[in-house]
Structure 1
Amino acid sequence: MSKRMIAVLLACAPAAPLHAASDAATRFGARENVGQISLSPDGKHVAVIGPTKGAGSAVFVASLETGDLKPVLTVDAALQRLTDCHWTTNTRLVCRAYTINNTSVVGLLGYTRLVAVDADGKNQQQLSLRKTDRALGFALGGGDIIDWQADSANGSVLMARAYVAETNTGSLAASTRQGYGVDRVDTVTLKRTTVEPPRDGAIAYITDGRGNVRIMETRGTDNDGYRGNTIRVLYRTKGNRDWRLLNTITISGSVSTGFEPVAIDSDRDVVYGFDSVGGFQTLVAMSLDGSMKRETVLAKPGADVDTLVQVGRQNRVVGAGFATDRRETHYFDPQFKALATALAKAIPGLPLVNIVDASADESKLLLFAGSDIDPGRYYLFDKATRHLGEVLPQRPQLAEIKLATVKPVSIPGADGTAIPAYLTLPPGSDGKGLPAIVMPHGGPDARDEWGFDWLAQFFANRGYAVLQPNFRGSTGYGSAFFKDNGFKSWPTAIGDVNDSGRWLIKQGIASSDKLAIVGWSYGGYAALQSGVVDPALFKAIVAVAPVTDLESLRGEFTDFTSFPQVDAQIGRGPHVVAGSPAQRAQRITAPVLLFHGDGDRNVSVNESRLMASRLRAANKKVELIEYHNLDHQLDDSDVRAAMLDRMDGFLRTTMGMPPAP
């Protein structure tokens, strides 16, 4: 079964790069075999989103009994990709396509649309409502499925969507309704009925998994049309249509305060969500019976509880997770708790196990298991037979490559604060006197975790030690560690990054003349700003899709409703100019290599263009490589392979190392 599936998927994968990429760059740069995967209600088929030529993607439907696999939906247009695909019946799928368009008004604009398609590729129809000539606006979001109607035999779903008012000029049938509402949609006939009328200010709905909308969130706007900083969470008691106030959430930049609902347990009549207790995020359950009873379900001292584990077509809550040195999952459901123990024994070398999907009766589970030295593989577990069978690996190109182990370490910050980090050493290395790379993560509201990282593993394969620090401003370690986020608190965040480089030298891991920094997105910003703060520390700087000027970043959001939140995240004051590497390019002494896609909506390519221009004006060594029609992720195997080779060659040349073998 698995071999046949793998063979077909690889046949649809990108052809060998046209450039003379090294074998290592080609293997590590190849996109993941599985972008997303889901299990049919009867547990007999999977739908897999996999890569095709260039930046394209396709949905493949595979039989788990025969291994037969068929592409049913393909997207290969520039700046367009398939993001997820789920089953409404055993023969019908709903998939989401994401597209970026370059508009004359606000530049790059991203929007989504839902498409329904049969499992054999026939009867393809757009599920999102099409824009009419009478529409007075345009909905960027094509809708979200919030309830899969587990008891529905005809594939009906509940879909939350934006209603757009229409002009009534020349028409008596024009709709005046606008706002965010919920429809019941038949995914075969496309017949739809309104379940929740659209409301101005509504931004989210949550059902109980049984077709009943029980939670609604609303958010106002200011006089300029920007999002307000307060979200009201409303709820319904069982059998009642009246809305009651559950709580409010306050937004300030990157930080939200207040209970944030995620999922409803209809049997317990509670809603699960996250809230801060004692400076750390915890999992909380609030009663929906009107009593407002509140229960702390899971808290982890020193760590934020940040994930909810849900299974089945009703999204039943069975556990929650958090990350310390490694990610851990705590199961509330006794059956899943016992299953987790059994799986740890069945696949001991793959400790990172996630429940990906389940059949309608939960008798079959689709699982993912991976580790630091295994990119991961998908399994099907049959509860009745207790059989665990591999479906397909995530990165078959690396099957013959020895990968490097990842070790959690602690770095002392300048003020004595312990900075958690992950150290990856080349396989077989003694870990001494190596060329080394500090690789700060993106975000900044994010963190690195223990496991497989294709970029770090590539560099380890080429002989570099790689250190990934979770600097202050990273998430997962509580509000005190988060500080005021990595932009407003950039001196602390960048100080931690630079202290990580000094630690590598002090430990004897890195040679002081062969220490570089490589980052993507905020990590690219950190790489450049580190060269501003301590010009002599790193001998080479590589930044992919970096922020380079905080004021320019702020300006990119002035035409969007999220502007007040971005504005608050960046803040106002002298730290904005001081924290913008493009404004202080003259301080950077190390050669700089920049990569950026010109279709990047997260961080405009103009950020890299500005940085390159300022460095050239200051007579610094810089090279900018732009990729046409690629966005922030540079999701193209050929491009990634070329980029990896270019990075490796640049680092070797800059730091006086011999060419790669």
Structure 2
Amino acid sequence: MLVTSGTRGAGLAVWSSDGKLTPILNYPGDDARLMGCSWSTNTRLVCTLYAVVDREGTLGGVSRMIAIDADGSNAKELSPPQKPNQLYVRYFGGEVLDWLPDESGSAVLMLRQYVPERATGTLIAQKREGVGVERVDTVSLKRTVVEAPRSTGVGFISDGHGTIRIVGTRARLGSGYMGDEVTYRYRRPGSETWEPLSAVTIKGYLTSGFDPYAVDRDLNVAYGFDNADGRKALYKVALDGSLKRELVLARNDVDVDSLVRIGRQQRVVGVSYATDRRQISYFDPQINALATSLEKALPGNAINVADASLDEKKLVVFGGSDVNPGRYYLLDRATKKMAEIAAVRPDLAGVKLATVKAITYKAADGTDVPAYLTLPVGSDGKNLPAIVMPHGGPSARDEWGFDWLSQFFAARGFAVIQPNYRGSSGFGERWFSQNGFRSWKLAMGDVNDAGRWMITQGITSPAKLAIVGWSYGGYAALQSNVLDPDLFKAVVAIAPVTDLDQLQNRLKDYSSDQEVKDIIGGPALWNEASPSRHAERIKAPVLLFHGDRDINVPIAQSRLMVSKLHDAGGRAELVEYPGLDHQLDDSQARAGMLDRIDQFLRTTLNLPTKP
């Protein structure tokens, strides 16, 4: 499992069934961070590392894969090495497509990015380019090509038992950018011939067409998502030549959006969706019965089968809730005994956390907007300082469960509302509208109406209302004040987008003009929807935070915003974090940020030092 260190960085520890937790690897956050690990054998782990690197003044995210023994020895890099004569940097270090559960060896199937080499002065330059599949031995590093690279390839899907069944390609336009359609082809069992499966059209954040995610070898079907009456639904398509299509699950209120898979073969056992809470519909009757029993054994928790042994007789189970950050357990189905592995946030053991309640409020046009309300423990919910906290994205939504930001603010005496404003994903295409940038007035209207609702309900007063957001949420925190400069009395924006013209310059590095337009519109919208262009309208004091290695939203966006606010005579401060990216994924930095926000809100809203 991954365990955070006391400061920056993370460590890898192995838990054994006798309850012993053995650290085997530490990585400083300055170099790379561990993103996840899985077993290639009973004694060997495969892990993904991620880092932000500076290549001649341009920041980019780089992933690499390593293999390491369970005792921390014999660490080797599985990703191909970067060579000096390659034409460009290989940023993608690969991923495991298939753990080959039917074999006893140490090999896996890996997706690989091939980068061509300069041929000058050599006769053995590697000229292949694109995405392919290799069989890689995680001990010896022996590599064998399974699927030759395709220059237009975007991915492959295996059947979980060593056979590649689906390939996706995306043609390039004359400009060099990718087109707006991904074409999928499949192979019948035992065949080497690729046949048409589906085409998926991409328009901004939305897609249409059957988008395959997994293959069930025994049923000989592909599971994937497509639209059903304007919402995402799960389908299965026969891979026997008939392409018979069957609707597995659709809902009339929310998107069905995630497969549930377990074990080394990544067997599909269900599908999930989020109403006011994340729900799972299990296909497998035994897993469904087990989940029902676990919900009784761990009442009040959302239960998820996170992993399984090859024979599925031992399961890793996760249970968590709004007041429980979560715990992992090992369940032995034969003995029906369950042992705790570890808590996600052990430092919060014994701390009483605030409950999160799903609510709706009325927008100005009468629309019911779903949201989550968190009140301080023991509070009657009246006359509190309050925070509107819009989520990031904009192609995202908030869900019920533990949230470290809202829990911190509740512990400091604030009421927190998290609106799933129009422009949020998960509720279908109509609710998503044209996304939170192109439909910014609609989204910001809903965000502001969340604050007004808090006032009319008596939860807070106009003098004690603030807004806090991260990423797109930071954009919303600023732009909502452009729409209504008098509503919020304090603004906190973490890694915010502040200028859509700057954003389009970033997007066009890897997106076509049409793709950029689908996401953020054109120049007229960039002007009206950019908070930095309307800094003079923002009356409330503003506090910004940003990492200088942010490749999602470059720190230049926050620097521009604070400069424009100062030029307009506003009160603004920017806190910069050297070496950190968009997530500010560092314990000390986050703790310091929370303290700064708390002090800022208390000073600005004229609140007592202690709640």
Measured against the shorter chain, the TM-score band is: over 0.9
Q: CA offsets per residue over residues 194-225 of structure 1, 9 Å max, x none?
A: 11111110110000011110000000112222
Indicate whether 1:101 and 2:70 are aligned: no
The aligned counterpart of 1:41 is none
| Contact 1:79-1:629 within 8 A present in 2 as well | no
The aligned counterpart of 1:35 is none
Greater Cα offset, 135-144 or 366-375: 135-144
Shift of residue 563 of structure 1? Answer: 6.8
Equivalent residue runs for 1:449-488 within 5 Å: 449-488=399-438
Shift of residue 573 of structure 1? Answer: 4.5
Indicate whether 1:560 and 2:502 are aligned: no
Distance 1:76 1:237 in 2: 46
Distance 1:519 1:645 in 2: 16
Q: Which amino acid aligns with 1:90?
A: N
Secondary structure (helix, strand or coil) at the match of 1:194 reads: strand
Distance 1:552 1:411 in 2: 34
The aligned counterpart of 2:239 is 288
The aligned counterpart of 1:276 is 227
Distance 1:346 1:118 in 2: 35
| Contact 1:649-1:660 within 8 A present in 2 as well | no
Shift of residue 367 of structure 1? Answer: 1.1
Distance 1:144 1:658 in 2: 51
Shift of residue 616 of structure 1? Answer: 0.3
Shift of residue 126 of structure 1? Answer: 0.7
2:495 to 525, 529, 545: 545
Equivalent residue runs for 1:125-144 within 5 Å: 125-144=76-95
Secondary structure (helix, strand or coil) at the match of 1:376 reads: strand
2:278 to 321, 327, 333: 327
Q: CA offsets per residue over residues 93-128 of structure 1, 9 Å max, x none?
A: 1111101112225x2111111111111111111101
The aligned counterpart of 1:50 is 3
Indicate whether 1:70 and 2:22 are aligned: yes
Secondary structure (helix, strand or coil) at the match of 1:141 reads: coil
Indicate whether 1:414 and 2:364 are aligned: yes
Q: Which amino acid aligns with 2:12?
A: V
2:296 to 329, 345, 349: 345
1:111 to 62, 67, 83: 62
The aligned counterpart of 2:173 is 222
The aligned counterpart of 2:186 is 235
Q: CA offsets per residue over residues 337-367 of structure 1, 9 Å max, x none?
A: 10011011111131x1111111111111101
The aligned counterpart of 2:343 is 393
Equivalent residue runs for 1:567-606 within 5 Å: 567-606=517-556
Gaps of 5+ in 1: 1-47
Distance 2:480 2:395 in 1: 18
Secondary structure (helix, strand or coil) at the match of 1:89 reads: coil
Indicate whether 1:611 and 2:561 are aligned: yes
Distance 1:612 1:573 in 2: 22
Shift of residue 180 of structure 1? Answer: 1.2
- TM-aligned CA distance change 1:75 to 1:563, over 3 Å: farther
Equivalent residue runs for 1:108-507 within 5 Å: 108-350=59-301, 352-507=302-457
Equivalent residue runs for 1:20-59 within 5 Å: 48-59=1-12
Q: CA offsets per residue over residues 579-629 of structure 1, 9 Å max, x none?
A: 110000000000001011111111111111000000000110111100110
Secondary structure (helix, strand or coil) at the match of 2:325 reads: coil
The aligned counterpart of 1:31 is none
The aligned counterpart of 1:10 is none
| Contact 2:501-2:523 within 8 A present in 1 as well | no
Shift of residue 135 of structure 1? Answer: 2.2
The aligned counterpart of 1:83 is 35
Distance 2:437 2:35 in 1: 29
Distance 1:601 1:72 in 2: 30
Distance 1:171 1:650 in 2: 62
Secondary structure (helix, strand or coil) at the match of 1:400 reads: coil
| Contact 1:254-1:565 within 8 A present in 2 as well | no
Shift of residue 50 of structure 1? Answer: 1.3
| Contact 2:10-2:29 within 8 A present in 1 as well | no
Distance 1:286 1:50 in 2: 40
Gaps of 5+ in 2: none
TM-score normalised to structure 2 length: 0.98
Distance 1:503 1:170 in 2: 70
Shift of residue 567 of structure 1? Answer: 4.0
Q: Which amino acid aligns with 2:515?
A: Q
Q: Which amino acid aligns with 2:465?
A: L
| Contact 2:128-2:149 within 8 A present in 1 as well | yes
Count the aligned residue pairs: 611
Distance 1:468 1:486 in 2: 15
Identity percentage over the alignment? 54
Distance 1:244 1:585 in 2: 55
Shift of residue 77 of structure 1? Answer: 4.7
RMSD: 1.2
Secondary structure (helix, strand or coil) at the match of 1:513 reads: helix
Shift of residue 635 of structure 1? Answer: 1.1
Distance 1:637 1:139 in 2: 30
The aligned counterpart of 1:525 is 475
Distance 1:564 1:390 in 2: 51
Secondary structure (helix, strand or coil) at the match of 2:258 reads: strand
Distance 1:443 1:378 in 2: 28
- TM-aligned CA distance change 1:423 to 1:132, over 3 Å: same
Shift of residue 165 of structure 1? Answer: 1.8
Indicate whether 1:624 and 2:574 are aligned: yes
Shift of residue 154 of structure 1? Answer: 1.7
Distance 2:570 2:87 in 1: 50
Shift of residue 543 of structure 1? Answer: 0.6
Distance 1:143 1:586 in 2: 47
